[in-house]
Structures are given as C-alpha cells and as structure tokens.
Structure 1
Amino acid sequence: MSDFVERFKKGAKALTDALGPGQYEVANIKVICPHCKNDVFEEGSAQLNTAGATFLNLDWLNKSAVVLVCTRCGLIQWFGESVDKID
C-alpha cells in the first residue's frame, strides 16, 4: 500500500510541476524576459479576436496565441506559434 502512496505522490508532484511556472523555448531559442532578464514564466492563452467574427458572434473561429507572463516583473510576451516547456 505504501508503494501506491509513494507513486501517487510522485505523480501529483509531476502534474503540479508541469502546470506551474517554468522555462520555455520558441524556435529552439530560450525565452528570456527583455525587461528583467528572468527566465521563468507562467503559460496562458489569449484569443486573437477580429471585428468581423465578433460582429457575427463567431469569436470561436478566431485563432489563439500563447502568452508567457514573467514571474518576476509581470511582462507578457505573445507567441503565435507553439512554445515548448524545457523544465
């Protein structure tokens, strides 16, 4: 039974590490905050709305972007392509 608990703890830690802040790269280049030179970010997403789609109530058709928020200064960087977590 204790083996199960230990494996469960390891799995829970891996999940929280994967969802928490981390280091990222885009196009094989490590992302660094241009303001404070930090290299740890929170990942999020944002929808790229267009006036036409919003007017027609079709916002779900718009593309989305990946945003990385610096954990030190809060600067937000937007990426149209996918980002890779390197932790």
Structure 2
Amino acid sequence: MSDFIEGLKKGAKAIKESFGPSRYEVANIKVICPHCKNDIFEDGSAQLNTAGATFLNLDWLNKSATILICTNCGLIQWFMESPEKI
C-alpha cells in the first residue's frame, strides 16, 4: 500500500512541475535568453496574422507560433517549432 501512496506522490509532483516556468530546448539546443542569460521561461502561443486572411475575416486559417517569455527580463522569443520542456 505504501508503494501505491509513494507512486501517487511522485505523480502529483510530476504534474505540478509540468505547469509553470520551465527550461526548454529547440532542435536539441537549450534555449537561453540572449539578453540576460536566464534559462527559465513561461510558454504561450501567438497567432501569425496575415493581412489577406484578416481582411476576409479568416484569421483562424493563419499559423500559430510558440512564444517563450523570459521569467527574469520578459524578453519574448518566437518559435515555429514547438520547444520541448527539459
């Protein structure tokens, strides 16, 4: 029974760590802020709007990019390939 409880604790810890700021890599290269050299980021997404799609009210057809926001200085880096948490 204690193995089960320990497993639940480890699972809860892993879930907690999967949210919030983290370290990332893209194309097997660790992402580091070029401004302050921090390596911990919040992630998000941003839509890459085009004038034609916006004019026709078809913004949902545009691609999205993943953004990483430095937790130290706030610099935003954009990525077309989704960064992987490490």
Query: What TM-score do you get using the length of structure 2 for normalisation?
Result: 0.86
Deviation track 1:27-51 (CA, whole Å, cap 9, x = no partner) reads 1100000000000000110000111
Provide the C-alpha distance between the structure 2 equivalents of 1:41 and 1:19, rounded to a whole number of angstroms: 11
Structure 2 residue runs of 5 or longer lacking an equivalent are none
Moved over 4 A (4+): 1-9
In structure 2, the partner of 1:39 is: 39
Provide the C-alpha distance between the structure 1 equivalents of 2:6 and 2:58, rounded to a whole number of angstroms: 47
Q: CA deviation at 1:11?
A: 3.3
The residue identity in structure 2 corresponding to 1:44 is G
> Number of paired residues?
86
Provide the C-alpha distance between the structure 1 equivalents of 2:11 and 2:33, rounded to a whole number of angstroms: 30
Query: What TM-score do you get using the length of structure 1 for normalisation?
Result: 0.85
Counterparts of residues 45-64 of structure 1 (less than 5 Å):
45-64=45-64
Provide the C-alpha distance between the structure 1 equivalents of 2:29 and 2:4, rounded to a whole number of angstroms: 39
Q: Percent of aligned positions with the same letter in both sequences? A: 78
Query: What root-mean-square deviation, in Å, do the aligned CA atoms of Structure 1 and Structure 2 show?
Result: 1.6
Provide the C-alpha distance between the structure 1 equivalents of 2:56 and 2:16, rounded to a whole number of angstroms: 39
Provide the C-alpha distance between the structure 2 equivalents of 1:81 and 1:34, rounded to a whole number of angstroms: 19
